[in-house]
Structure 1
Amino acid sequence: MTKKLTVGLVGIGKIARDQHLPAIAADPGLELTACASRHAEVQGVRNYPTIEALLAAERDLDAVSLSAPPQVRFAQARAALAAGKHVMLEKPPGASLHEIEVLREMARKAGLTMFASWHSRHAPAVDTAREWLAQRAVRSVDVRWKEDVRKWHPGQKWIWEPGGLGVFDPGINALSIVTRILPHEIVLQTATLFVPSNTHTPIAANLDFVDLNGATVRAEFDWRHGPREQWEIEVQTSDGTLLIEQGGKRLSIAGEVVDVGPEREYPSLYAHWRELIERGEEDVDVRPLRHVADAFLLGARREIEAFVD
């Protein structure tokens, strides 16, 4: 493309400042022209208090990236699509599975690109792991995804409300990697959700899956972990152990470290979105969110002590 795609960013919180803004700025095919946020502004672009105000003023805008909490994402995405804008959804793509299907159909009818992004799938170890596992028999998988909620979501109330997902907000990152790298689909068998007495969503969860060949997949998510994060996926195969660490930044196979290059998750996300728009395609994979929904459907709820931020 000779013309840069003009982009509006909606939701200027921690993830937007840490990841979205630098990634857009680094992409030569994108130009950030406007932002919308109730409580924040970005220097050097036009700022609006709501997405409705942004869309009314920025009629020539090409695309909108949504990084606000999932509970409000459906209304925002619907407004952007109705205004003729391509849409990128931060993970999780929505608060429910059905709303994503409604948005996907809106985008298709309008000839617009919708991208349900999973940033952890763009971690440098993921595609190398996927290629290696495609030629091996998987015997078992252990997922250990643990961190300190007070560090990563300080004072954020929306994560504990319905639709906020609780510990599945980071846990869904692990599920996005697992569904990307494993050669066979997985199906949830049982789940246990540990829910503080003063929240709606879990602070920890244990999930047990099985793949279509009978391999077991165990996932342990915990927001009470610290001070060092544990973001690991260990896959036992017919040819040894594959281990993803540091959320996908590090890969080892049979004990040998594999060079996977530098981390560039969000730059890769935006490059992929831009290429989808150029080709007139979509990328909407809801499997990670479907597994979370299944956990809420099948999970045994265990009430634990109240959470104190």
Structure 2
Amino acid sequence: MPRKIALVGIGKIARDSHVPALQASPDWDLVATVSRSGKVEGVEAHDDFDAFLAARPDIGAISLCLPPQPRFDYAQKALSAGRHVMLEKPPGQTLAEVHALAALAATRGVTLYASWHSRMAAGVAAAKAWLAGRAVRGGRIIWKEDVRKWHPGQDWVFEPGGMGVMDPGINALSILTEILPEPVHLTAATLEFPENRHTPIAATLDFTGNLRAEFDWRQEGPQRWDIEIDTPQARIALRDGGARLEIDGAAQALDEGPGEYPALYARMADLVARGDSEVDLAPMVHVADAMTLGRRIAVAPFAF
């Protein structure tokens, strides 16, 4: 029988990705939501998380789709109540928060899954397999999108803890840390902060191994999510956020699989069944390092 799960935070990412994945999942039965205003048709709705936990002890798993700022408190309450928890990316505001949640999950004997949806893109596993054992000579990430399209009116992304352009940029970093045969670390960064905002709208990150990432949230027209890695044998490229794979410009055949979010929920089901947790913070470490090493540049004010 599918396990009962509740979805907390019914915003754009929940409606666009989580709800369809859960409705199609053979592993999960979406039986409740918790949100101040959002609802899913045909699903029991709550607006108070504490009251929900008390009223529905039969729901053993909770997926948190809230912005990162309030997520720790919700996750802490859920884990303390003995519920398995899946975290939308990024898993928290800070590394310390997520370390604390991982320790709590271990103490309570429940699963904590810090999910990275871009790692489930169709080309990522194939790119990782191709790069295994090969030397990396360098590479570049170009991750440029329009914040007005993907986060319309969502001011939380520019508040402390919202990460700014690092919110999409961490998707690229989740792929990079998954596919590289050897780890890299940040050496320098430039962060562009709108004069009226607390988080960056653009960033350039330099890593060991001659790798550079360029993130920008001011992209108009075609959106771009590309990762290119140079090796002595060839250049491998992931396009469209990892959906397409090229080797020296030639498109590679891929197993499309179930899709990013269905794959996340299948992984969550497997972790719960085995009694394991998965909390890989490598992408978030690079973001934290960028905030530490970054040279700050003030740019024009931003308004939605």
TM-score, length of structure 1 as denominator length: 0.97
Alignment of 1:131 with 2:129, yes or no, is yes
Find the counterpart in structure 2 of residue 8 from structure 1.
6
Structure 1 window deviating more from structure 2 (66-75 vs 37-46): it is: 37-46
| Structure 2: stretches of 5+ with no match in the other structure | none
Alignment of 1:224 with 2:218, yes or no, is yes
Question: Could you tell me which amino acid in structure 2 is paired with residue 247 of structure 1?
Answer: G
Aligned to 1:100, the other structure's residue is in SS state helix
Size of the alignment, in residue pairs?
A: 303
Aligned to 1:73, the other structure's residue is in SS state helix
Residue 136 of structure 1: how far off its partner (Å): 1.4
Cα distance in 2, alignment partners of residues 219 and 53 from structure 1: 44
Residue 246 of structure 1: how far off its partner (Å): 0.3
| Structure 1: stretches of 5+ with no match in the other structure | none
Alignment of 1:99 with 2:104, yes or no, is no
Aligned to 2:160, the other structure's residue is in SS state coil
Cα distance in 1, alignment partners of residues 205 and 48 from structure 2: 38
Residue 262 of structure 1: how far off its partner (Å): 2.5
Aligned positions of 1:201-212 closer than 5 A: 201-210=199-208
Find the counterpart in structure 1 of residue 274 from structure 2.
279
Deviation beyond 4 Å, 4+ runs, structure 1: none
Cα distance in 2, alignment partners of residues 64 and 270 from structure 1: 11
Find the counterpart in structure 2 of residue 304 from structure 1.
299
Find the counterpart in structure 2 of residue 261 from structure 1.
255
Q: CA RMSD in A?
A: 0.8
Residue 254 of structure 1: how far off its partner (Å): 2.0
Aligned to 2:29, the other structure's residue is in SS state strand
Q: 2:187 aligns with which of 185, 189, 201?
A: 189
Aligned positions of 1:78-227 closer than 5 A: 78-210=76-208, 215-227=209-221
Question: Could you tell me which amino acid in structure 2 is paired with residue 163 of structure 1?
Answer: G
What are the superposed Cα offsets for residues 142-196 of structure 1, whole Å, 9 maximum, x if unpaired? 0000001111111001000000000000000000000000011111000000000
Cα distance in 1, alignment partners of residues 39 and 54 from structure 2: 18
Question: Could you tell me which amino acid in structure 2 is paired with residue 252 of structure 1?
Answer: E
Aligned to 2:203, the other structure's residue is in SS state strand
Alignment of 1:289 with 2:284, yes or no, is yes
Aligned to 2:221, the other structure's residue is in SS state coil
Residue 250 of structure 1: how far off its partner (Å): 0.4
Residue 42 of structure 1: how far off its partner (Å): 1.3
Cα distance in 2, alignment partners of residues 12 and 54 from structure 1: 15
Cα distance in 2, alignment partners of residues 94 and 169 from structure 1: 11
Cα distance in 1, alignment partners of residues 260 and 91 from structure 2: 17
Residue 53 of structure 1: how far off its partner (Å): 2.1
Aligned 8 A contact 1:35 1:54 in 2: no
Question: Could you tell me which amino acid in structure 2 is paired with residue 15 of structure 1?
Answer: I
Residue 50 of structure 1: how far off its partner (Å): 2.5
Residue 29 of structure 1: how far off its partner (Å): 1.4
Question: Could you tell me which amino acid in structure 2 is paired with residue 182 of structure 1?
Answer: L
Percentage of pairs with the same residue: 51
Cα distance in 2, alignment partners of residues 207 and 124 from structure 1: 25
Q: 1:77 aligns with which of 75, 78, 90?
A: 75
Residue 238 of structure 1: how far off its partner (Å): 1.1
Cα distance in 2, alignment partners of residues 205 and 90 from structure 1: 22
Cα distance in 2, alignment partners of residues 98 and 136 from structure 1: 34
Cα distance in 2, alignment partners of residues 28 and 248 from structure 1: 25
TM-score, length of structure 2 as denominator length: 0.98
Cα distance in 2, alignment partners of residues 308 and 281 from structure 1: 43
Aligned to 1:138, the other structure's residue is in SS state coil
